[in-house]
Amino acid sequence: MTELTYIGKPARRVDALEKVLGTAKYIADRKLPGMLHAHCLRSDVPHATIKRLDVSPALKVPGVRGVITSEDYFEHGLYGFPVKDKYMLAYQKVRYVGEAIAAVAADTPEAALAGVRAIICELEPLPGIFDMEQSLDPGAPQIGPDRPDDKHPNFLDKLIVRKGDPLAEWAQCPVKLEERYTVGPQEHAYIEPEGVLAVPTREGGVVVYAPNQSPFVNHGTLALVLDLPHNLVRVIQPPVGGSFGGKDDVIYESSAQAAKLALVTGKPVRMVFSREESLIASYKRDPMHMRIWLGADADGTLRACKFDGLMDSGAYASESPFTAWRASIHAMGAYRYAACDVDITAVYTNNGYYGAFRGFGNTEVCSGIEQAIDEMAYKVGMDPLEFRLKNCLRVGDETAHGQTLTESVGLTDCINTVRRLSDWDRKRAEYATRNTQHAMPGTAGHAVRRGIGVAALYHGTSLGAEGHDYAGSTIAVEQNNSVDITSGLTDYGTGSRTVFTLIAAEELGVRPERIHMQRPDTDTAVESGPTVASRATMLGGNAMRVAAMNLRQTLDYAAADLLGCELHQLLRHGEDYVGPSEEPVAWEKVADHARAMGLALSAQGKWTAPRINWDHHAGRGTPYMAYHFAAQVAEVAVDMGTGNVQVVGFWAAHDPGKVIFPQGAYGQLYGGIAQGLGYALMEQMTFSNGYLQETNFESYLIPTSVDVPELVGTFVEAPFSHGPYGAKNIAEPSMVPTAPAILNAIYHATGKRVRDLPANLERVLLGKDLTKGGSAKACKLGLKTA
């Protein structure tokens, strides 16, 4: 490959300046003249029939300008993908605490809240399901929609992988493991709560400023439920204050509510959530119960894996069918097996609702399988890191799905790298000796024990067999010779705007400062599917590369004409073009010449991923075109008197393919590790009879700067031939192996397995939960205030 000028070199994030100055305008910072404030009436019961809903008293409240219900939408606002089961405002039933029933727009937030309180809403409670294990019981109350087949209405989906007969294989293995693991729900905890600003247009349409991940999905959904032609709906993404998978469906709902209120009142309408409303009303990462069977030979060769997962989708499907699919594909981990079965079943309950969150099923199953793999290593008497090296996927290996990996498999490099960086071998030996001297907690002497643990990962790039995988970009030279670029894939803090800018600069041969990456706007960008699955760099990057190459052809043609030479005689020196006479010509002059020649100085690029196939019925095929590989090592200090776990060291080696924007890639890596640390140790969400107990950051704890240790990250770049410059992905995989690495380190320190996440004080100290009880109080209070 030729020397790269901008790719992989230090760069400035394109939107960093306005953010450090405090001038970036997030939704809550935007005000328009005459703007109304919107607030939702939300259910304070987990499951009920709406017996009576009378909004007319709200309209009499001073300052209230409009009130809407499900009656105000096409088909009552029914939406959802892949399963249409949720309404923009509840229709006939509510299925979780916090579900929106009606929305009020008023001159002030206080008047909107008064309007909400004036609505007459009679809810007749129905029995609920609060334990996913009971969801499919024959007599269980129906939560899911009616089904055309004879399956239980609370059954959402089941995803499988099949290879051979793992239980028969398992029975023959000399070393066996059969164990259960659980993970709880996790809240995205973006520091910016949800918000939307909708502005009615003179043509009868609406412009929606929405901090969503996927404006085009929002756009299509809005056109549907508002019954408007697509050209009358426009979605613009302002700066997004964090998302991590969390600002799609919930923002589509807020968008539809604010947009309808804007259309009804003829005024701009802004809706901003409080933290309590955000925590209660938004979707979370799904909890999962896992049962894992592993079998190996005495020499440590893995032979059999059977994985049964039960996943809570909560009251609605949201992205859970896709989450369950990604979970099924990754459930066995990055290892070779003679036989392997995976079954992931997703069911409905009344515990809030669950959707997309970074890692998207893999974060959940990796916590289970990477602990199980660790336990197997102990059973066969091998170092956990050696055990992984012995069994992990390499180039040429066939995965459990039947896919042969032909390139870009950096896993052994990653494992060896973290081994060296963390001083693994010395610490394993040293801590083992020291800790065994005091086998029981509470004994005198060492009150704090050290441990070090590892976890490995693979994570499929982009959508895979979830859907048609493509992206589009545009590029244009403006009159002042700046270059405007767009992408249909968005940047909600991830850094993709900078990635696209660097790619356009590299291909076009111009400085990044010349390029202006526009904000995502459905009127100007090209539809590119959803911005999910860590797909922006690869899909959007390729699309940007194609767009820039197309524009470059035009400019090269003009340069050759200007310099009176053939295309192959052109050279570049910085931005300048140089011909055979070796006189440099400024890039602007070439652009001017192209204009004089009547050439169009704009181009589009589209990139579609190579076709792959997955047989959902057989559980076999090629699920993803490529995989990200990684290994992470955590070192912990466990206070044996309190159960407190401090992560004191952390090393991560990842293979994201070629790194395009290094500061951004490291930022994603470090941030993912911090989220994984929270998932492992402190982020506890408790539903008590459908009522969330943690409704703000004083009870839902996320890692602070003193909880996160100094992080050592490094990239093993195994290029992927279809990625832009060899790039794959980084956003999701960064957090996936963190929790099991920490859990495995806790075991190394204490000799006791904590198989339920998070590993809170009582689970580490006592090995069980303390009964705390719960109440509806925090939820009811949280929903009463703005």
Partner 1 sequence: MLIEFTLNHKPVAVEAPPNITLLTLLRDYLNLTGAKEGCAVGECGACSVIMDGRLVNSCLVLAPQAGGSEIVTIEGIRGPDGGPNDMQENFITYGAVQCGICIPGMVVAGEALLMHTPNPTRPEIRTALAGNLCRCTGYQQIVDAIEATARGRQVDK
260 strand-pairing partners = none
Q: Does 777 bind partner 1 (CB under 8 A)?
A: no
Stretch that binds partner 1, among 309-317, 430-438, 471-479, 692-700 (CB under 8 A): 692-700
Per the listing, tokens 């050290």 go with: 450
> Given the complex with partner 1, which of 128 and 672 has the nearer CB atom?
672
Residue 439 Cβ vs partner 1, minimum distance, rounded to whole Å:
32
**Binding-site member from 19, 438, 511, 752 for partner 1 (CB under 8 A):** 19
Q: Applying CB under 8 A, does 439 fall inside the site for partner 1?
A: no
Cα→Cα distances 189→242, 246, 367, 752, Å? 8, 9, 20, 30
422 Cβ contact list (under 8 Å, min separation 6): 452, 633, 635, 649, 651, 712
List Cα–Cα distances, 285 to 275, 320, 362, 679, in angstroms. Answer: 17, 9, 11, 10
Q: Does 441 bind partner 1 (CB under 8 A)?
A: no
CB of 10 to partner 1, least distance (A): 8
Among 223, 288, 653, 674, binds partner 1 (CB under 8 A): 674
- The rounded distance, in Å, linking the Cα atoms of 247 and 241 is 10
Residue 17 near partner 1 by CB under 8 A: yes
Q: Which is nearer to partner 1, 189 or 456 (CB)?
A: 189
In the complex with partner 1, the residue whose CB is nearer, 105 or 674, is: 674
**Residues that contact partner 1, how many (by CB under 8 A):** 58
Q: How far apart are CA 545 and CA 550, in angstroms?
A: 9
Q: What residues numbered 274-303 form the site for partner 1, per CB under 8 A? A: 274-275
C-alpha to C-alpha distance for 50 and 232, rounded to whole angstroms = 33
440 touching partner 1, by CB under 8 A: no
Least distance from C-beta 782 to partner 1, angstroms?
Answer: 11
Q: Which of 4, 9, 29, 34 binds partner 1 (CB under 8 A)?
A: 29
Structure tokens that stand for 383 in this block: 């170092």
Q: Is 16 in the site for partner 1 (CB under 8 A)?
A: yes
As a whole number of angstroms, the distance between CA 754 and CA 21 comes to 44
The contacts of residue 459 (CB under 8 Å, 6+ apart) are 330, 359, 362, 534, 627, 628, 630, 729, 732, 733, 736
192-211 positions binding partner 1, by CB under 8 A: 192-193
| 186/313 with CB nearer partner 1 | 186
| Tokens read off for 750 | 């204490």
Listed ranges 6-14, 63-71, 151-159, 199-207: which one lies at the site for partner 1 (CB under 8 A): 6-14
Q: Does 664 bind partner 1 (CB under 8 A)?
A: yes
**The tokens of 418 are what?**
């973290």
Question: How far is the CA of 104 from the CAs of 36, 51, 115, 526, 569, in angstroms?
Answer: 10, 20, 6, 34, 66
| Subset of residues 551 to 610 that bind partner 1, contact rule: CB under 8 A | none
| Interface stretch with partner 1, choices 14-22, 383-391, 455-463, 753-761 (CB under 8 A) | 14-22
Closer by beta carbon to partner 1, 102 or else 778: 778
Positive or negative: CA dihedral 655, 427, 682, 773: positive
Closest separation in Å from C-beta 704 to partner 1: 5
Is 671 among the residues that bind partner 1 (CB under 8 A)? yes
> Least CB distance from residue 109 to partner 1, whole Å?
10
Residue 756 identity (one-letter amino acid): D
Query: Is residue 338 a contact partner of residue 373, using CB atoms and an 8 Å limit?
Result: no
Who's near 584: CB < 8 A, 6+ residues apart? 573, 576, 577, 578
Report in angstroms how near the CB of residue 191 gets to partner 1 at its nearest: 5
Pick the closer one to partner 1 by CB: 235 or 674: 674
Question: Of 231-260, which residues contact partner 1 (CB under 8 A)?
Answer: 239-244
Q: Who's near 760: CB < 8 A, 6+ residues apart?
A: 643, 681, 682, 684
Q: Least Å distance between CB 25 and partner 1?
A: 7
Contact present, 476 and 591 (Cβ < 8 Å) = no
Nearer to partner 1, 274 or 461 (CB): 274
Nearest distance, CB of residue 349 and partner 1, angstroms: 26
- Per CB under 8 A, the list member of 381, 404, 641, 697 interacting with partner 1 is 697
Contacts of 608 (CB under 8 A, 6+ apart): 468, 469, 470
Q: How far apart are CA 706 and CA 708, in angstroms?
A: 6
Q: How far is the CB of 200 from partner 1 (least distance, A)?
A: 24
Within positions 474 to 513, which residues make up the interface with partner 1, using CB under 8 A?
492-495
Tokens of 81: 């993908």
Footprint on residues 165-194 left by partner 1 (CB under 8 A): 188-193
Q: To the nearest whole angstrom, how small is the minimum distance from the Cβ of residue 19 to partner 1?
A: 3
CA separation for the pair 377, 373 (Å, rounded): 6
Q: Is 708 in the site for partner 1 (CB under 8 A)?
A: yes
Q: How far is the CB of 703 from partner 1 (least distance, A)?
A: 8
Residue 667 in 3-state DSSP? helix
Tell whether residue 632 is a contact of partner 1 (CB under 8 A): no
Return all residues near 696 (Cβ < 8 A) that are at least 6 apart: 275, 276, 279, 782
Can residue 710 be called a binding residue for partner 1 (CB under 8 A)?
Answer: yes
Q: Which of 128, 215, 667, 690 binds partner 1 (CB under 8 A)?
A: 667
Please, which residues have CB within 8 angstroms of residue 48's CB and are 6 or more apart in sequence? 93, 94, 123, 124, 125, 126
Nearest of 118, 27, 103 to residue 265 by alpha carbon: 103
Query: What's the closest the beta carbon of residue 143 comes to partner 1, in angstroms?
Result: 31
Nearer to partner 1, 498 or 760 (CB): 498
Binder of partner 1 out of 6, 8, 13, 640 (CB under 8 A): 13
Nearer to partner 1, 322 or 666 (CB): 666
**Strand 470-477 and strand 602-608: pairing?**
antiparallel
Which residues of this protein are in contact with partner 1, per CB under 8 A?
10, 12-13, 15-26, 28-29, 188-193, 239-244, 274-275, 492-495, 662-664, 666-675, 696-698, 702, 704-706, 708, 710-711
